[in-house]
């Protein structure tokens, strides 16, 4: 629950149907008007429905309605928000104040950056910086206490296991390529498109891994959000596949090679999205740090399945 000394009552709420002139009049009459950054719009029942920065309010025509200039996607804090959530809001959104609402979305007050950060500046930036640094370290395969380690040999031993995953994945990819050596020799353009095919599945797989890992870090698992992430990522991969297929048509005598590119990239990006969504939760279940293990394994698996699918389709449909 937010402490009362952090909650300011100096805010302006206006009706969504009020004019800019009426809103400005209420702002001038409000206590502490010199330190008010936003004007909050409410519906007839007093529920928060929009926000207008004071700068935008001043520039608007006096006869305009608040409903026509307000932002309807309001970033707001619940009344029971913990300190950590308030800290994250200020660092993430960089706003000067946030409205605090009750269960019915009625404004109880605002939390201003000056009141909050002046009192807790040291802990705010130290803790948030530490959390961000830790997340970055874990995601690229480094322990959270990496900066405290002073022995180079131990640093190397910590990082080496995940390098082995990359080496194993790379060696397997080389083996797959060797199996289809004759295909590459007969159609050189196949090799030219390998980097493009691989980088798309890698990029989308890592992005989905980051989403799932962040959920685990926040101890918030939303299956619906994970499903939407996989579907959205797969659709993005399909769009990219269309673009690459069109580019492939420039170097192909017929439509067989572009079709292969489309199928291979669509399948590989969908697979990478699924792996990126599932593997962090799987590693977490077996008490393996998902941040350190997921990304290298997603890349290794998606790369090799992508190569095998790509070469197989080219061999049977193009060559």
E strand or H helix that includes residue 43: none
pLDDT value at residue 132: 47
Q: pTM value?
A: 0.52
Lowest pLDDT segment from 49-53, 171-175, 186-190: 186-190
- In this model, does residue 7 exceed pLDDT 60? yes
If pLDDT is split at 50, 70 and 90, which confidence band does 146 have? low
CB-based contacts of 283: which residues, under 8 Å, 6+ apart? 289, 290, 293, 294
- Using one digit for the tens of pLDDT, what is the confidence trace for 54-67? 889 988 999 999 99
Is 64 strand, coil or helix? coil
CA separation, residue 83 to residues 22, 80, 127, 128, 286 (Å): 35, 10, 11, 11, 31
Backbone torsions φ then ψ of 232, nearest 5 degrees: -65, -40
- In this model, does residue 293 exceed pLDDT 80? no
Domains annotated for the chain, with CATH where assigned, are: 4-117 (3.10.580.10), 149-317 (1.10.357.20)
- Using one digit for the tens of pLDDT, what is the confidence trace for 207-233? 888 778 777 766 677 788 888 889 999
- In this model, does residue 87 exceed pLDDT 80? no
Helix ranges (H only) for the chain are: 20-29, 54-59, 66-69, 83-93, 113-139, 152-179, 181-186, 189-192, 194-217, 223-251, 256-285, 290-317
Is 111 strand, coil or helix? strand
As a whole number of angstroms, the distance between CA 66 and CA 257 comes to 55
Higher pLDDT, 304 or 298: 304
Find out whether 197 and 306 touch, Cβ atoms under 8 Å. Answer: yes
DSSP β-ladder status, 77-78 and 48-53:
unpaired
If pLDDT is split at 50, 70 and 90, which confidence band does 23 have? very high
Mean pLDDT of the chain: 80
Which span out of 12-21, 90-99, 190-199, 244-253 was modeled with the highest average pLDDT? Answer: 12-21
Higher pLDDT, 306 or 5: 306
Lowest pLDDT segment from 109-113, 208-212, 266-270: 208-212
pLDDT value at residue 116: 61
Find out whether 276 and 206 touch, Cβ atoms under 8 Å. Answer: yes
- In this model, does residue 127 exceed pLDDT 70? no
Higher pLDDT, 109 or 140: 109
Angle 290-317/194-217 helices, nearest 10 degrees? 150
pLDDT value at residue 67: 92
As a whole number of angstroms, the distance between CA 133 and CA 10 comes to 35
């Amino acid at each position: 629950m937010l402490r009362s000394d952090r909650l300011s009552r100096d805010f302006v709420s206006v009706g969504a149907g009020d004019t800019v002139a009426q809103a400005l009049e209420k702002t001038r009459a409000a206590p502490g008007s010199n330190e008010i950054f936003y004007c909050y719009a409410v519906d007839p029942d007093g529920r928060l429905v929009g926000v207008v920065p004071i700068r935008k309010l001043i520039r608007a025509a006096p006869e305009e309605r608040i409903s026509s200039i307000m932002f309807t996607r309001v970033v707001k804090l619940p009344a029971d928000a913990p300190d950590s959530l308030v800290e994250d809001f200020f660092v993430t959104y960089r706003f000067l104040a946030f409205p605090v609402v009750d269960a019915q979305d009625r404004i109880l007050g605002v939390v201003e950056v000056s009141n909050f950060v002046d009192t807790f500046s040291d802990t705010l930036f130290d803790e948030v910086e530490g959390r961000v640094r830790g997340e970055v370290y874990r995601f690229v395969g480094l322990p959270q206490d990496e900066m405290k380690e002073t022995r180079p040999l131990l640093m190397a031993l910590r990082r080496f296991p995940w390098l082995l995953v990359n080496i194993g994945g790379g060696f397997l990819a080389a083996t797959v390529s060797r199996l289809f050596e004759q295909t590459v020799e007969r159609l050189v353009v196949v090799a030219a498109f390998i980097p493009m095919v691989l980088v798309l599945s890698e990029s989308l797989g890592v992005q989905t891994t980051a989403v799932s890992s962040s959920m685990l870090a926040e101890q918030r698992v939303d299956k619906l959000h994970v499903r939407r992430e996989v579907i959205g990522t797969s659709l993005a991969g399909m769009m990219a596949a269309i673009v690459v297929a069109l580019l492939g048509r420039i170097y192909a005598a017929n439509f067989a090679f572009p079709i292969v590119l489309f199928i291979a990239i669509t399948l590989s990006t969908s697979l990478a999205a699924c792996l990126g969504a599932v593997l962090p939760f799987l590693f977490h279940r077996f008490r393996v740090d998902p941040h350190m293990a997921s990304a290298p394994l997603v890349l290794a698996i998606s790369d090799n399945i992508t190569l095998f699918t790509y070469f197989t389709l080219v061999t049977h449909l193009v060559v």
